[in-house]
Amino acid sequence: MSTSHRHLRIGIDIGRVLVESDTDPARSFFGANFLDARAIPGAFEAVAALARLHGAESIHLVSKCSPSTQVRTRQWLAHHAFHAQTGVPPEQVHFCLQRHAKRALCDAHGLTAFVDDRFSVLEHLLHLEHLYLFRPLPRERAAWAASPHRERVRLAEAWERAAFEALWPDG
């Protein structure tokens, strides 16, 4: 049975989904000037629209990263006014130390949809209703293309409404 749109609970990865992966050291999230790392075009606007539609309490950020990167991530989100722009509160940012541990976080928060740049993560989340592989690197795209679960995961190349049709009531 399909989850109604007002009951969707959406998980969103952070790295390469909200934060741009930049090869320029001056803008790299992992460099000294990490606060200068850019947001993915349209990401904040799309998250804000989803929060208005489904309720901010239904949107959770879920990221695998080290404790030091968790601190940087929270600082980056605050510096770029993510919470103010989207309505998603800081308490709904969750971290784990291993990619497969995202499943436990999704289950703990009742998530029904997830957006990630790694198919290797989404493979652990096949029990969720809606899965989106966002701008994957070539090896992740190849793993998705070769997977028997390919039909369960939609490919999204940008934060545009058409790419995430199942998350919108008229989609």
pLDDT digit string, tens, across residues 66-75: 999 999 999 9
> How many structural domains compose the chain?
1
Neighbours of 108 (CB within 10 A): 10
Residue 140 belongs to domain with CATH number:
3.40.50.1000
pLDDT at 162: 65
Domain that holds residue 78: 5-167
Is the distance from CB of 139 to CB of 160 less than 8 angstroms?
Answer: no
- What burial class does residue 85 get, using C-beta atoms within 10 Å of its C-beta: 0-12 exposed, 13-18 middle, 19+ buried? middle
pTM: 0.92
pLDDT at 1: 35
pLDDT at 165: 82
> Which parts of the chain register pLDDT below 70?
1-6, 22-25, 162, 169-171
pLDDT at 161: 78
Q: Which of 66, 77, 78 lies closest to 12 in space, CA to CA?
A: 77
